Structures are given as structure tokens and as C-alpha cells.
Amino acid sequence: MIIKMKLNAKKEEIEHVIEILERRGLKVKDASGDEYSVFGVIGDTTKIDIRDIEALNGVEKVTRIQEPFKQVNRAFKSGDTVVDVRGVKIGGGNFTIMAGPCSVESRHQISEISRAVSKSGAHILRGGAYKPRTSPYSFQGMGGEGLEILKEAREETGMPIVTELMAVSLVDRFEKDVDIIQIGARNMQNYDLLKAVGRTKKPVLLKRGMSSTIEEWLMAAEYIMAGGNPNVILCERGIRTFENYTRNTLDLSAVLAVKRLSHLPVIVDPSHGTGKRWMIRDMAMAAAAVGADGLMIEVHNDPENALSDGAQSLTPEEFHETVAGVKRILTVVGKKF
């Protein structure tokens, strides 16, 4: 439920409305703009008669949110959310590129790649310290040692780091050491994990589940925001369809849908979305053209010998060309790089 107060509403009138709602066990979130006081009401509002609230002094309009996601909803907040990550702004007309290898493999590898992608224009370094793999015999990442290597690269380049969280037991360490906590596609509906990162204020990158609807994706984001963390970034990374030529089907229409339904920033991962190196540049440019707020791209200095996802990793040179192509699109759509 959204309550819009009149332009000249008095402070005591606003406080009275909030008091009545909280007395009924509801939570009230301030979503005010420059001119009007606007409040989102969270909880079971089905027993509230809208006419009773609209009759209160200072209230201009009351609107029910029909969708199950509330705080994520654009009706809750008309302006775009901008997530600030160590001075790097994601959303609100800014375009942000996250780049790096699928997995942290060595100190030399991360140092070389981080310097290369930073030079080409990447804003944030990605790299998996802990890796969820389909096979238990595949490389599972370097764990805590990988996190330390990412931190060293952050010191060397100044780029914030994003890496995937897989266990609730690691939340405290990630909150201390990582700049953006990534929730991967396999964990999009791991509700204990979503609640745990919701209790932090650390920015969270939420990847769309491989078979998830847009509503399910937004409801996962709602879990994080309901826990008190407003710093959520959505990531479209392709969904599983009957098509098997590509690794996944990159759903660029989801960018448009999410932009209409929600105020949260949304970025696109064309690496997982296609699984094919030769497609990444064009799909990255397409993502920029449809209004995405950024990209997440896998880059490796030796893709043929990568321990994971080499087939969908760009070389540093290919990444440089991709950024140049994306910049050309951004001049047309009016996003800041």
C-alpha cells in the first residue's frame, strides 16, 4: 500500500497517519520525493479500508500494490535506486562494467587480469573464490585464499570486488571483506541466504535463477529488502529453455520488464547468457541498447587453460574491443560510463 500525503501536509498530520498504521501492526517505509511525502505500508493491509486512511487529515491518495513484491515495486519508489559501491554508482543513468575471471586461480592470474580490465574501463573486479559446480569433481575455487587474492587486487587497482556467497556461515566474512555480495543463480531462492544478506547493508548482486520467472526473481529481491537491505542489484544471466545451441537463453526483454516493474538497477551477464565467446560483444551492446545499467563479463588471460568457463571468457584484448563497442551504444542511449 502506498500513501501519498498532500503537498501542504503538516508534520503532525504525517506523524498521526504513521502512528495509526503502526498501531495496527504495519511497517511504514519512507519513500518521499522532493515535493510530496510518500509512505510504503508493509504487512497485511487487507483488513484496512482505504477510505478510512484517505479520510485522515493531510492524506491525498492511497493505492494498493497488487503485485506480491512491495518494496521492490516501482510504485513504492518512483525514482531509480542508485547503489554506491566505494564511489562507483550503479543505476540512475550510470553504466557499470564488472569484469574478471570465472574463478580465482592464482595471484598472478588475478593481478594480470585486474590490471588489464581496469585499463580497458571496467569499474568492478569479479572473480569466484568459492565456486558452485555441477560436478563434485570440478574445480571448486580457492576459498578463503581466493578472497585474500581478490583483496590484494583491489588494493593494487582500486577496483571494488564482487564474488559469490554460497553459505550463511560466510556472511560475516563477506560483509567485512567484499564490496558486493553475489547471490548466484543456483541460490536465488535460498531463502536463508537471502535473509542473511538482507540483515547486512552490503550491496547484493542477485542473479536470476536459471528457470525463474521475473516475478520469482523480484520476490527473491523482496526477501533481501524486507530484511532491511535496500542495496540490491539485479542480474539477468540467461534462463534455461528448450534451445541448446547456446548455454542459456539471454532474456533481454527481462531488462525492459524489470525497469517497468521495479526501481532497482539491472545488469546483464552475456557470458553465462550465451556461453559462447564470439557472441558476447554483440549481446553486451544489445544489453546497453535496451537500457541495462551495466554488464558482468568473464575475462581470462588464458581462456584455453581456464579452470572453469574458458569457452565463454574473453581475452583482455577482446574485452577492450567489447568496451569500445558498448561505449558507442551508450552515446546513443545517453548513459554515463
Domain count, the chain: 2
Q: What is the pLDDT of residues 72-87, one digit of tens each?
A: 999 888 799 999 999 9
C-alpha cell at 143: 576459498
- Check: pTM over 0.85? Answer yes or no: yes
284 closest CA partner among 250, 254, 333, 247: 250
59 and 192 belong to one structural domain:
no
The residue that leads in pLDDT, 88 or 308, is 88
> What pLDDT score does 44 carry?
80
Separation CA 323–CA 290 (nearest Å): 16
> What pLDDT score does 46 carry?
78
271 and 164 belong to one structural domain:
yes
Phi-psi region of 279 (alpha: psi -120 to 50; beta: other; left: phi over 0): alpha
87 and 51 belong to one structural domain:
no
DSSP state of 170: G
Separation CA 274–CA 270 (nearest Å): 6
95 and 242 belong to one structural domain:
yes
Reduce the DSSP state of residue 239 to 3 states and report it. Answer: strand
30 and 96 belong to one structural domain:
no
43 closest CA partner among 21, 59, 66, 62: 21
**Contact indicator for 180, 174 with CB cutoff of 8 Å:** no
Q: Residue 140: how many CA atoms within 13 Å on its side-chain side?
A: 6
> What pLDDT score does 170 carry?
96
Q: What is the pLDDT of residues 195-227, one digit of tens each?
A: 999 999 999 999 999 999 999 999 999 999 999
Separation CA 327–CA 317 (nearest Å): 16
Separation CA 281–CA 285 (nearest Å): 6
215 and 328 belong to one structural domain:
yes
The residue that leads in pLDDT, 28 or 147, is 147
Separation CA 148–CA 107 (nearest Å): 9
Q: What is the pLDDT of residues 5-58, one digit of tens each?
A: 888 888 899 999 999 999 888 888 877 666 668 888 888 887 788 889 999 999
Separation CA 168–CA 213 (nearest Å): 25
> What pLDDT score does 199 carry?
97
Average pLDDT of the chain, as a whole number: 93
> What pLDDT score does 35 carry?
63
Q: How confident is the model at residue 294 (pLDDT cuts 50, 70, 90)?
A: very high
Within a domain: 78: no
11 and 145 belong to one structural domain:
no
43 and 181 belong to one structural domain:
no
For the chain, give the number of residues.
337
Within a domain: 76: no
Within a domain: 71: no
CATH number, domain containing residue 32: 3.30.70.1140
181 and 55 belong to one structural domain:
no
Separation CA 79–CA 93 (nearest Å): 11
Q: What is the pLDDT of residues 150-178, one digit of tens each?
A: 999 999 999 999 999 999 999 999 999 99
Separation CA 189–CA 220 (nearest Å): 6
Q: How confident is the model at residue 131 (pLDDT cuts 50, 70, 90)?
A: confident
**Contact indicator for 104, 146 with CB cutoff of 8 Å:** yes
Q: What is the pLDDT of residues 217-267, one digit of tens each?
A: 999 999 999 999 999 999 999 999 999 999 999 999 999 999 999 999 999
Within a domain: 72: no
35 and 148 belong to one structural domain:
no
Note down the domain range covering 134: 83-333
C-alpha to C-alpha distances, 16 to 10, 102, 159, nearest whole angstrom: 10, 52, 46
C-alpha to C-alpha distances, 269 to 22, 204, 308, nearest whole angstrom: 41, 15, 16
